Structure 1
């Protein structure tokens, strides 16, 4: 059975995505053995897969409300070995977990920055004076909630069940259609025939039209880009790495030609994988 690293502890939405991956990979099993390895940060989970401590890392990459997960993007660019093997999309519904009997008793709210951001309007309306404390995962603050009746955490219903804590309000996310896309990362690519592909590149020079040339490579071949996002190179202000998702497999002849031309108009080019979205 595959060993899986994920952003823990138990009860996070990333754990739910990892369990979904196991269900898809081993559909005939009724109970999954304890092969789930929680890590306190996204980067540590990714490093565990890169170093061979586990076979797979499952990490969040993009939320439909708050956009890309920067720690995952940065870690993907820095990784020399990992490839995207699959993408999993899950609906996200947040719960306010607390032992407080009413909202006015709450003084602090804990959650991952994404969790706080996805519930920001609700917090502004119902808990405008409460201190918001960012944590490395949605479940990290639940230990404080168990001990402090004035504390609350934004996490999943599953987390409340695991830690035996009451839910005061559900759902509290600002948008009902809230989805997060997770990536399954491994040291080897499983396919070149997936429905989607991802790549990243940096540019040779920061000058007018520098980004247009790589984009025209795809436009000229009628290849659809489903997502583009930038992150700083961390070398110099104004220099960026661009992450692109493409609705085509790597072994598509048209896409292969585009990759050959793309090498001539970029500084560094990384193929992150070709995969199915489930």
Structure 2
């Protein structure tokens, strides 16, 4: 059996590292071979699954420093097909790649917005003079470095080896415990796993509307491991609530909770059950 895995490329991104780790797990534990297909954005990687061009996508969902990757949440909400199947967590390192001789020579730093945000304090303390330029991925700016001796890219140290770029700094992240959760999503139904992902919108913005929804889980002693709101993009003050909880959709208390939740929400979407994979970076 072979699977195609979509992810945010090009070569050397943290998403590729996650895809490689997941591919190795598939080979070792499932005897499944995987081919890796890079895409220029996270949204396009997910769209390739929706269109049937890839079997699964490996996408970042949350970073311990910067929080959720909102494009993943928004794409899940808009798509009727995508389901979350598995989760893996990897430690993230951010090196500073450049042909410059020293930090004082730098005028520009390129990287993905998430990486720039995860290194914000370091950049403010060590490179307050530089212009920060967001790119589609942590490796997109590398091709610019040969023609810009005063530029640097924040990327994984692995990318420095792949592209043979000097490392000015090995790791500039703002926290020693910088980790990112990655979800493996596909268009197949996912009803196995220890955790459940879902989202809902409320029929009206009224006092106690959200409390009423959340009490459904509290009454049944269901643990919510994460809750986050995103704007509906319809009107200011209207939100979609994304929830991760512990439990399986086949459990009696989870089934009853989802039935009650459907009765008091405008739209309820269940993104599927998923397991936490024992993959170490």
Return the alpha-carbon distance in structure 2 between the equivalents of residues 268 and 146 of structure 1: 50
Return the alpha-carbon distance in structure 2 between the equivalents of residues 60 and 12 of structure 1: 11
Return the alpha-carbon distance in structure 1 between the equivalents of residues 146 and 222 of structure 2: 51
In the TM superposition, structure 1's runs of 4+ consecutive aligned residues that sit over 3 Å from their partners are none
Q: Secondary structure at the match of 1:26?
A: helix
State the Cα deviation string for residues 11-52 of structure 1 (Å, max 9, x = none). 11111111111111111799x77x211111111111000000
Q: Secondary structure at the match of 2:193?
A: coil
Aligned to 1:129: 129
Aligned to 1:18: 19
Return the alpha-carbon distance in structure 1 between the equivalents of residues 249 and 143 of structure 2: 45
Q: Secondary structure at the match of 1:243?
A: strand
Aligned to 2:233: 234
Aligned length: 275
Could you list the runs of 5+ residues in structure 2 that have no partner in the other structure?
A: none
Q: Secondary structure at the match of 1:263?
A: helix
Equivalent runs, 1:112-191 vs 2, <5 Å: 112-190=112-190
Q: Secondary structure at the match of 1:230?
A: strand
Q: Secondary structure at the match of 1:137?
A: coil
Equivalent runs, 1:13-52 vs 2, <5 Å: 13-27=14-28, 35-52=35-52
TM-score, normalised by the number of residues in structure 2: 0.95
Return the alpha-carbon distance in structure 1 between the equivalents of residues 74 and 61 of structure 2: 11
Deviation at 1:252, TM superposition (A): 1.3
Aligned to 1:256: 255
Please report the RMSD computed on the Cα atoms of aligned residues, expressed in angstroms. 1.4
Return the alpha-carbon distance in structure 2 between the equivalents of residues 70 and 228 of structure 1: 13
Return the alpha-carbon distance in structure 1 between the equivalents of residues 37 and 106 of structure 2: 32
Could you list the runs of 5+ residues in structure 1 that have no partner in the other structure?
A: none
TM-score, normalised by the number of residues in structure 1: 0.96
Deviation at 1:78, TM superposition (A): 0.5
Deviation at 1:66, TM superposition (A): 0.8
State the Cα deviation string for residues 43-98 of structure 1 (Å, max 9, x = none). 11110000001101111110011111111110010111110011110001110011
Equivalent runs, 1:56-71 vs 2, <5 Å: 56-71=56-71
